[in-house]
A = this chain, B = another copy of it.
Amino acid sequence: MEEKEISKAVIKRLPRYYRYLGELMESGVERISSNELSSKMKVTASQIRQDLNNFGGFGQQGYGYNVKHLYTEIGKILGLDKNHNVIIVGAGNLGQAIANYGAFEKRGFIIKGIFDVNPRLQGVTVRGIEIRMIDELEQFIKDNNVQIAALTIPKTKAAEMAELLVKYGVKAIWNFAHTDLNLPDDILIENVHLSESLMRLSYNITRYEKERLNENDN
């Protein structure tokens, strides 16, 4: 029963495969070879084949991959065939942006509730979901079997809130606060650090400007 550990690099690429396959499916493509997919996605065909083979043989020699089948299988690997109950903690623009993102529920993420500290938001609804106050949190998490919390509050409050959420039974946190959360090992954390993304862009712009300067010197 020895399942070999799949590397993070592979996991990182799976959602992108899933996206491309979804698009192919929508445009009616039935089969695709690793080579065709390779040129669309700008990764090597070799990598595609090796990535997929971590999970078993989804293709057929001489034929390629059946788009629909592969899409479904990757979906299963990613756990998109199961439902997860989610709350959003922090009903600011970012929290509301997430709440309004429709494809969400399509992927099995059911938004059960939205929470905030600001009493002026009490009762306001976003996409049919009413914003609740933090004091309802504990009961709500238990009543609704909430497994995931999207954390969209300022970093100063994030650590404290994360601990509270875990105490109340949340098992995974999708963290948008600009800080790292230190939580028990059995709690899953997926960070979205927008500021870091922006800094990488800044680095690349700077490097690119420098390169152009050097080119002009030669």
Contact = CB atoms under 8 A, between A and B. Distances in A.
Contacts of A193: 15-16
A214 interface: yes
Contacts of A94: 93-94, 97
Nearest to A192: B197
A78 interface: yes
B206 A78 contact: yes
A12 B203 CA distance: 10
A101 interface: yes
Nearest to A171: B205
Contacts of A93: 93-94, 96-97, 100
Interface stretch (A56-64, A102-110, A114-122): A102-110
Contacts of A201: 148, 172, 174, 188, 190
Please tell me how many copies of the chain the complex holds: 2
Contacts of A79: 202-203, 205-207
Interface centre among A174, A201, A208 (most CB of B within 10 A): A201
A92 interface: yes
- Interface size on A, as a range, is 35 or more
A54 interface: no
A80 interface: yes
A76 B206 CA distance: 9
A11 B214 contact: no
A19 interface: yes
A192 B198 CA distance: 10
Interface string A155-191: 0000000000000000110100011000000101010
A15 B172 contact: no
Interface of A: 1, 11-12, 14-16, 18-19, 77-80, 82, 84, 92-94, 96-98, 100-101, 103-104, 107-109, 147-148, 171-172, 174, 178-179, 186, 188, 190, 192-208, 214
8 contacts: A19-B178, A77-B203, A77-B206, A78-B199, A92-B100, A107-B202, A172-B205, A190-B201
